[in-house]
Structure 1
Amino acid sequence: MIGGETETGADDTMAARLAGVTQDGDDPALSDARHRVHASLFGEAPARARRTIGRFVLLERLGAGAMGEVFAARDPELARRVALKLLHRDRLDSEAARARLLREAQAMARLSHPNVVTVYESGTHEGRVYIAMELVAGVDLRALFGGGPQPWRRVVEVYRDAARGLAAAHAVGLVHRDFKPENVMVGEDGRVRVLDFGVARAGEGLAPASESSMSGRGDLLARELTHTGVLLGTPAYMAPEQLTTGETSPRSDQFSFCVALYEGLHGRRPFAAESLRELIEAHRTEVRPPARSEVPRAVHAVVLRGLKADPSARFPSMDALAGALDRCLAAPRRRQRLLALGGLTGGALVAGYVVAGQAVTDPCAAGEAAIAAVWHPERAAALAEAFAGSGTPEAPQQWQKIAGRVDEYTRAWAEEHADACQAEKISGEQARRVAELRMACLSDARRELDETLEVLARAEPAVIFTGVQAIADLPPPSRCADSRALLAGVQPPADPAVAAQAAAIRGRAAEVRALRRAGLSSRAYEEVTRLAADAAAVDVAPLRAELDLLTGQLELDTARYEAAATTLERGFWTAIDSGHDEVAATAAVALAGLVGGRQAALEPGLGWARSAEALIRRAHLSGALGAALRRSRAQMLRVAGQPDRARAELDAALVAQRAAPTVDDLDAAGLLRELAGVALDQGRADEAAGLVEEALRHARAALGEHHPEVGRALRLLGTSLYSAGRREEALRTYEEARRIGELAHGPEHPDVGDAMNNIGATLDELGRDVEALAAYERALAIRRRNLGENHPSVAGTLDNMALTLKKLGRLEEAEQASRRVQAILRVVHGERHPEVAVNLLHLAELARERERFAEAAAQARQAVDMFTATLGPQHPDVAFALSDLAFILLDAGDAAAAIEPARRALELRSASEQPDPLLVAESQLRLGQALWLSGRDRAEGRALLRAARAGYAAQHNERLPGIDAWLAEQRIEPGP
């Protein structure tokens, strides 16, 4: 019995029997029942005995659980209150089990740690084990964090202390086995204490989950299981190995801890399940943080590592996990930003504000911890594991290159931070202001890194090979040293509430930029569309300009060209009005490339370029933006048919690049590829091939042998070889590019589609027309699947197919394909774009083949008008259209009408800075035929025909026999 006999024991026994309560064990709860029944029957309270367990006097019952009951008790020897846990008899059905539990309780009694509840004593009483421990006045974590969303920092602080308690227990060989929110108390003194070590092992052994236990539903997973023969503990928090095999270890405690921490941060557990079977299945899936969570990515990285199904993939110890949480907490609280910083690097803008006057305790002291909270060994290991488990063979190698770049970036960040701290010690108001702005700039850069690593952590196939470029595209920390640019920023909103709203929007914009940086532009476009809708109510002009810029860039990425032009122009003018020069300059650079290059409007494009240049100078903006401007100018000039001027722009960019203290392999490879493209425009195919070979060396050094960027460079090399007439070499090169694309991304990726398109074109040139069509069909299927029906690349493949079908005499099919191309190009580019004109010439050729001469001539004249209006009357493409028109009119038997377009084509081609001899010969041939057949001026016609024949002969052109046959038919001697 508990306690001693009383004078009214018989009455107690009778009352208990009347109430239907037995005296099994006479435990304290039954004594309470007898007391209540006695009072109701006899109207008086019986004399109460002092109830004791060992030397502890029970005071009141505090609660009960699956393991036993908890009482408040008094220790008369030490005059203190304690909590006394009395375990149920059925939990200890052997002497060995009781002995093991007592040994663990004794070990706990020897453990002294502020985050572990103190155990004073343990023993047995009438076969039941009791444990006397510190009585904590406070609440458990279920009660503390169960009332809705909590500030992440407070949750992490509490759980970090609990982690320290677990680590201390593990150090003396104790495993908790049932860690959950109810087993952690926060006392009225604020101290966190972990309870109930080892209690889940009170039975003879832990049984793995049985078939019957797997079928339970509802809240079973959140309850302790107590039935004999089934798993003991609380399944919702158990590690996979604990559920399936009963194995427990410090790492199974770690898993349970992270389930509870995730629940504290997000208000729900990480694994959705209603039965043990479902829970075991759920453990095999990857855990993701909820969308739009305010919890920092560094915290998520810690939690997700602790939730790995493989115990060896978790932290090596609870000490390591607690240390990782320490680093997360050491990062300074993010400051709202009110001054425009940031700049374009690889097309991504980082622009925002800094709240003036917000106190920071010691940003210099926190610098190392701040960057370590973003990039630390645990995160690096988790990312490496994610890449290794992605199923992509090249992923581990790519991660090594990414990690090396992150190491370089964080070293540069730390050096810049240290330098900024030294500057902060300089006296003077402006110096202090610059130091504050430098700190804010570095905070922005750190956040961009954090968001980018979060995207890379998903290890999706699409991001594995974009990771190196994504890190390279981060805003360089060195930009934070430009005091003139920092001081030239926009003013903050006057209303602190509006400033806070703007800061929240910018935080989400950083996530969108990270998606774009990693090559996930379609997903980023969806996100920025939602973000823009949410931001509509925040009336801050600089913020609107930033979002328009980001949206316009993503519209460019996803081939929404007309929309991009509108959005970027709106963002430009909003930025100009609000003094946001960096956004305005970046938008102007993008508009120069879009309007002057893709939309082929040279003068407006050059106007945007001049605006960008002025803003870059005025605002002292980054060298990267200046380089982007030169590339935009080169793109415009190439489209305008001025490759020499384009080459001059890129040569200047190359000189500036090589003059820099260090030259990044990625930047070098990109510029060399652009130079190769201009060399192709200039007809220098062999020079282009050499430039691409040099670009390939840089790309392989930066990215590895089988990176998709290497494959893209190989495609350009193939085009150079193709243009040089080395078709078999070109075919082998394109096949290697295709193989790299398939290894990296699988057989249905756009890179594979691009390679197949080029393979088709090369096979066509080699006379393997049926194989060419098969290659085109595969390219078309891939491009349609990935890019949609109305993408320019889909139009490009259809156009190539039409040309091959025409060669095969399948004119009806060829015309259908070309008309589909015309429809796509008008949707993408508008009604009068040069690409539309090129396709009109293809349609005209098909109409000529089918002897629909009037239709063909009308289409060719439309093309002449479009080229003239968009590219100018001197553009080489005007000469192409005029030459085609002349040929159509000659074939129609209207030689007199062919004279004027043929003469204009010859004049344009002869006036070129570097005339192409074959094109000049072709124009001489057309005009000579028109003059000869019309009888207008046969002497001039004969001279032109002989000159044309000599031009073709000098180039050993394959058309020479046909020209000789026609001259013989007309009885014209080939020579003078």
Structure 2
Amino acid sequence: MGSEESSLLTVTVDSRRDAERRATGAANEAPETIDRFVVLDVLGSGAMGIVYAAWDPQLDRRVALKVVRPGKGGGDAESRLVREAQGMARLSHPNVVSVFDVGAHAGGVWIAMEFVAGETLHARIGEGGLDWRERLELYRQAGEGLCAAHEAGLVHRDFKPENVLIGAQGRVRVADFGLVRPSDQGAETLPDPIRGDELLAHARVSESGERDPEFGALQTMAASTRSLGLASGSGMSARLTMDEAWLGTPRFMSPEQFQRMPADARSDQFSFCVALYHALYEEWPFQAEGGGFFELAAAVTLGSAPTLPSHTAIPPQIGAALLRGLAREPEDRFPDMRALLDALELAPPQRRRWPWLLASLGGAMAAAALTAWVVGSPAPEPVDPCSRGEAEVARSWGEAQRAQLAARFEGLDIGFGASSLEAIDEGVRAWSQDWAGAYRETCETRHEQSDLRYDMRMNCLAEQRAEVDGLIALFSMADEDLVRDAPDLVSELPAADACETLEGRRAVEPPRADQLDVVHEVRGRLARVRARLAAAELDGLDTELELLGAEVEVADYEPLLAELDYLRGVHAMKTKDVSTAQDWLLAAHGRALALGQDRLAMTAARDLVLEDGAVPGDEGQELARRWHAVTAALERRIDGGPEDEVERRYAYGRAMLRQMRFEPARGELSRAAELAAEVHGPHSLVTARIEVALGTAYGEGGKYEPGEQILARAIDTYERRLGPDHPLLIGPLLSRTTLHTGAGQLDAALADAKRAQRIDAASYTDGGPRAENILHHLALVHDLRGDYERAAANFEAMLARRGELQRPSSVNGMTLANSLCFSLYKLDRLDEAEAVCARSLELAPEVLGDGHPITAIVLNNLALIARARGDFEAGLELDRKALGYVEDRLGADHFYIAYSLVGVAEGLLGLGRADEAVPVLERAWQLRQEQRDPGEQGEVECLLGQALIDSGQDRERGRALEREAAVKLRAAGPNWNSHAEACDARVAGH
């Protein structure tokens, strides 16, 4: 039967071992504790040791505890176990069984190892049902474990399928490094090499033995075998240890091991190829006539080179690779295991490593760390496998990729290509450094985390790198718009430390072994779609998503469906299809929550803050509030980092800003900006982007001074990072244009709008995507400066360009229509103005929802038109309705209320009810004091003075207010000329 010790780490104990254990009484010998470990069960026993299932209270996990059997082996056994601990503890790799600790016990040595619930590779292959590709894939994972050992300077020397474990989740691990030694240390003192004639002679002597019916191994007489160092009772699949002269298991031993020469990594390569040859072709590469040990030794060391079966479906390049690995002379084999694994690869090299992680979009993710407590003499300094993270990201971004992007950007003949490239380089390099650091930290703490957590973290890092690779690939094909947006995109690269907070992924079932390839392929496609969505490269993306849907169905792995649903939702967001976005995001959230994909569920909920928050009115506000609460709860459940809080608060603040709830918007955005400055730096583009929204929230809420300061800080950051002429400055400049306009600073507003227009003209041949927005801002400024004809023409042209001239169908369209209405009113084209505003009012419930503040402004404009025609009653009714809308929506103290209050007061004054107008205007006057616009202040003061005089309540104060108002209105600019003239006339009449 096969070596008992070679199977000691197999946790799934088969019936034969149970029988052996009962026969030897091993189960009754188990102590309650060993050192700090609580013994749970006996897993297996051998001639020199026994393995227990135990609980480690220090690591808070179940372990496999291997100890020397008391009274057996003495010092040799102890030194051997120490050597095993040295070898395995130095390896930290997903395809190697981990060693956690080593210590002394009752004169012996114990080793605490990873507890692997599963079966051996030998048993898995023996069950049948696997095609050759699946068998090759299992061995390829085992090969990765050997490769990691070799890179760490270690040789296994007893590789065989019985020493390879497959965990319950399908991950393959190489185990039982009992014969391992540093690769550059000399071999232990061994008997002289066996000459060929001696082997043949011993083969003749051995014919008197009997065969093991299961393994075909020769059972020789004790006297004969001891002279050769072969233990009595062993077979061709039994291991020969050092004190038995040969090192290894005969069926898998290399020629140099049979000859008792030093074994190296190429010896492991030979053993690996023997095992894989048998797994693929179901026959042994070396046929030993008679089936005995010495016949096998002669066949391996002296016989003919192996050949391949004549009829097989296995590709010839696979067979050729195996034959090279089975070469008699080590120098004729592959130079190392990596070269062999490459030769066995049927797919591109990027897919060869860590199939368990590749199932979730991984690159090569090897990890092996030196462990400080390793006992024994110091080993040679190995290659640091934890440095592979640096190598991985270096392949993603370096001088070659930068040069490729530089050539692409120069070919576009745009003025901002160089500054965008600098931002890309800076952003990706910073991300690469963080990612490599997270990789190293994960690698070096391999022993401090469970297998599942380790796999999830490496999986997460692999997904992130794939997404970044996809974005870099898009940059290499970028158009003008993508080059413009590139600095923002690289400022939003996935945070590597998010992979440390993976509690929400614990419940996610990994793909089955037969799903690995298709899951890997689909996730690769999903990563490319994510990159395209981030870059707003939407052409043909709907078709690609449909095709992906069919592939996800074939994959039959539900977590992929949640990921696809989410990307469909993001695509709908990008195409402004709000209802479709809401449906897909809700589906993704629910499915992800059910499957344990808590981070995905959180991300979908965060997007729903904005999408459901876009629903007009109180319903949208309540939906945004609820989704914000859900996002916060999931953020807490996954132990999210500050980056998650930044994004959550930014989303909720923007939702409140859309709803014109300026106070909660300012609160959320202020906290988001503070956190962003701490996490990303005060002069990062992430911080600046949030500050633009925050400054807007202050400005639209009538708090112009703090808003202007915040926007100035954001614009300064963009200029520092990208230069003074980058098109990403256009958005912040237009935000400040709006703020200056509200504050009555029309010259400053015009300067910012014209600067934005100059940047746009210099950046794009035919005008960029913000050209219309720039025209809108210029039109507003022209209107306020009294150039109503130009303003009206611009508003009308923009509506026509949007296809909303006859029927506004969006918030922006309604805003433009309202602006056109007001410009026409000021041109005294009252019928045209009324038609535009009446159409907007009719559509407002459908487009804006009930009681929206924009609807209130439409009502105010219609009241202006009514008063211009002398219909003060109709105007008063319209203004009172508008006042109710803004009070209900914005609260009693919002500065927007002043517009409706002024309208109500003008109606009352027109009707001769000055005494009723006084309290209305007093309230409006208080609200206007917080604004710096002299025109708006002067308007209220002149009207209040008139009401105080006409009602007889306080003529002296009334005259003083009128005089002060006239000064302010004359200083307010052309837009207030008519008001200034009317107020001057009243002052002169005193």
Question: Could you tell me the TM-score, scaled by structure 1's length?
Answer: 0.55
Greater length-normalized contact order (CA 8 Å, ≥ 6 residues apart): 2
1:629 corresponds in structure 2 to 648
Amino acid at match of 1:747: D
Is the contact made by 1:335 and 1:354 (CA closer than 8 Å) also made in structure 2? no
Matches within 5 A, 1:287-326: none
Asked if structure 1 preserves the Cα contact closer than 8 Å seen for 2:681 and 2:687, the reply is no
SS in 1 for 2:602: helix
TM-superposition CA deviations, 1:252-306 (whole Å, max 9, x none): xxxxxxxxxxxxxxxxxxxxxxxxxxxxxxxxxxxxxxxxxxxxxxxxxxxxxxx
Look up the match of 2:531. Answer: 514
**CA–CA separation in structure 1 for the residues paired with 2:878 and 2:541:** 40
1:271 paired residue number:
none
Indicate how the Cα distance of structure 1 residues 854 and 750 shifts in structure 2: closer, same or farther if over 3 A, else same: farther
For the pair 1:669 / 2:669, whether they are aligned, the reply is: no
Q: Distance in 1 between matches of 2:615 and 2:666?
A: 18
- Aligned twin of 2:406: 384
- What are structure 1's unaligned runs of at least 5 residues? 1-149, 155-322, 340-351
Is 1:836–2:855 an aligned residue pair? yes
The one-letter code of the counterpart of 1:587 is: A
Aligned residue among 593, 597, 606 for 1:580: 597
Q: How does 1:535-614 map to 2 (within 5 A)?
A: 543-595=560-612, 599-601=616-618, 602-614=621-633
The equivalent residue for 1:802 is: 821
Query: Any conservation in 2 of the 1:776–1:800 contact (CA below 8 Å)?
Result: yes
Residue 802 of structure 1 aligns to which amino acid in structure 2?
C
Q: Following the alignment from structure 1 to structure 2, what is the Cα–Cα distance between the partners of residues 917 and 401?
A: 39
Q: Which residue of 396, 407, 412 corresponds with 1:374? A: 396
Q: How far does residue 665 in structure 1 lie from its aligned partner after superposition?
A: 2.1
1:769, 1:804 within 8 Å by CA — same for their partners in 2?
A: yes
- Post-superposition offset of 1:444: 0.3
CA distance in 1 between partners of 2:564 and 2:646 (Å): 23
Q: 1:485 aligns with which of 502, 516, 525?
A: 502
Give the one of 965, 969, 975 matched to 1:952. 965
Pick aligned residue for 2:432 from 391, 407, 410: 410
- Separation in 2 of the partners of 1:667 and 1:409? 14
- Deviations, residues 898-933 of structure 1 (Å, cap 9, x unaligned): 949x85685587589968898788678778878998
Instruction: Give the conservation status (yes or no) of the 8 Å contact 1:669–1:695.
Output: yes
In structure 1, the partner of 2:899 is: 880
User: Tell me, what secondary structure is at the counterpart of 1:331?
Assistant: helix
Q: Which amino acid aligns with 2:482?
A: V
Question: In the aligned structure 1, how far is the partner of 2:556 from the partner of 2:899?
Answer: 52
| Partner residue, 1:761 | 780
Counterpart residue identity of residue 441, structure 2: D
Aligned equivalent of 1:692: 711
Shift of 1:650: 3.6
Counterparts in 2 of 1:686 and 1:831: CA distance versus 1, 3 Å: closer
Distance 1:954 1:745 in 2: 44
Relative to structure 1, the CA distance from residue 861 to residue 433 in structure 2 (aligned partners, 3 Å threshold; closer, same or farther) is: same
Q: CA deviation at 1:448?
A: 0.4
| Equivalences, count | 623
- Which AA in structure 2 matches 1:699? Y
State the distance in 2 between where 1:917 and 1:664 align. Answer: 31
Contact preservation (8 Å) 2:511, 2:557? no
Matches within 5 A, 1:444-523: 444-480=463-499, 482=500, 484-486=501-503, 488-492=505-509, 505-520=522-537
What is the CA–CA distance in structure 2 between the aligned matches of 1:816 and 1:713, rounded to whole Å? 34
Deviations 1:384-419 (A, max 9, x none): 322222232432442343233323323332332233
CA 663–478 in structure 1, closer or farther in 2 if over 3 Å, else same? farther
Letter in 2 for 1:841: N
User: What's the secondary structure of 1:731's corresponding residue?
Assistant: helix
Worse-matched range after superposition: 714-723 or 563-572: 563-572
Question: How far apart are residue 682 of structure 1 and its match?
Answer: 5.2
* Aligned positions of 1:204-215 closer than 5 A: none
Aligned to 2:765: 746
Unaligned 5+ segments in structure 2 are 1-132, 138-341, 369-384, 971-975
Alignment of 1:132-531 (within 5 A): 329-333=348-352, 367=389, 370-375=392-397, 377-424=399-446, 426=447, 430-480=449-499, 482=500, 484-486=501-503, 488-492=505-509, 505-520=522-537, 528=545, 531=548
AA aligned opposite 1:435: Y
Residue 465 of structure 1: SS of its match in structure 2? helix
| Residues 721 and 459 of structure 1: CA distance in aligned 2, closer, same or farther (over 3 Å) | same
The structure 2 residue matched to 1:793, chosen from 787, 798, 812, is 812
The whole-number CA distance in structure 2 between the counterparts of 1:951 and 1:544 is 67
Letter in 2 for 1:517: A
1:678 aligns with: 697
Question: Which piece of structure 1 moves more, 817-826 or 459-468?
Answer: 817-826
- Deviation, 1:666, is 0.5
The question of whether the paired residues in 2 share the 8 Å contact of 1:592 and 1:632 is answered with yes
Residues 432-441 or 564-573, more deviating: 564-573
Q: Residue 504 of structure 2 contacts residue 599 of structure 2 at CA under 8 Å; is this kept in 1?
A: no
Q: Retained in 2: the 8 A contact 1:679–1:685?
A: yes
Residue type of the partner of 1:510?
A
* 1:818 to partner: Cα distance: 3.4
DSSP-derived class of the 1:466 partner: helix
Q: Structure 1, residues 332-386: CA drift from partner, whole Å, max 9, x if none? A: 44878899xxxxxxxxxxxx9689xx99798858645543443355444333322
SS in 1 for 2:770: helix
Contact 2:841 2:855 in 1 (8 A): yes
Q: 1:361 and 1:669 mapped to 2: Cα distance? A: 38
Counterparts of 1:904-915 in structure 2, within 5 Å, are: 910=926
- Counterpart of 1:705 in 2: which secondary structure? coil
Aligned to 1:96: none
Shift of 1:658: 3.4
Say which SS state the counterpart of residue 474 (structure 1) adopts.
Answer: coil
C-alpha deviation, 1:698, in angstroms: 1.2
Corresponding position of 1:168: none
**What is the CA distance between 1:451 and its match in structure 2?**
1.4
Alpha-carbon offset, residue 440 of structure 1: 0.7
CA deviations on 1:195-247 (whole Å, 9 max, x unpaired) are xxxxxxxxxxxxxxxxxxxxxxxxxxxxxxxxxxxxxxxxxxxxxxxxxxxxx
Q: Which secondary structure state, in structure 2, belongs to the residue aligned with residue 459 of structure 1?
A: coil
Cα root mean square deviation, aligned: 4.7
Cα deviation, residue 475, structure 1: 0.6
Counterpart Cα distance in 1 of 2:940 and 2:952: 17
For residue 962 of structure 1, what is the aligned residue in structure 2? 982
State how far apart, in whole Å, the 1-side matches of 2:612 and 2:844 are: 16
Structure-2 change in CA distance of 1:558 and 1:966 (3 Å): farther
Taking a change above 3 Å as real, the CA distance of residues 444 and 853 of structure 1, as seen in their structure-2 partners, is same
CA distance in 1, matches of 2:520, 2:856: 47
For residue 613 of structure 1, report the CA deviation from its aligned partner: 2.1
Structure 1: distance between partners of 2:852 and 2:557: 37
Tell me the amino acid that sits aligned with residue 952 of structure 1.
Answer: A
Equivalent in 663, 666, 674 of residue 655 of structure 1: 674
Deviation of 1:441 after TM superposition, in Å, equals: 1.0
Q: Residues of 2 paired with 1:963 and 1:553: CA distance?
A: 54
Q: CA–CA distance in 1 between the matches of 2:678 and 2:416?
A: 34
1:412-458 per-residue CA deviation (whole Å, 9 max, x = no partner) reads 3233223322223x2x6x43332222211111011101211222222
Work out whether residues 876 and 908 of structure 2, in 8 Å CA contact, stay in contact via their aligned partners in 1: yes
CA contact (8 A) 2:938 2:968 kept: no
| Alpha-carbon offset, residue 717 of structure 1 | 3.1
Contact 2:491-2:686 within 8 A present in 1 as well: no
Contact preservation (8 Å) 1:548, 1:571? yes
1:330, 1:366 within 8 Å by CA — same for their partners in 2? no
Deviation at residue 608 of structure 1 after TM alignment: 2.9
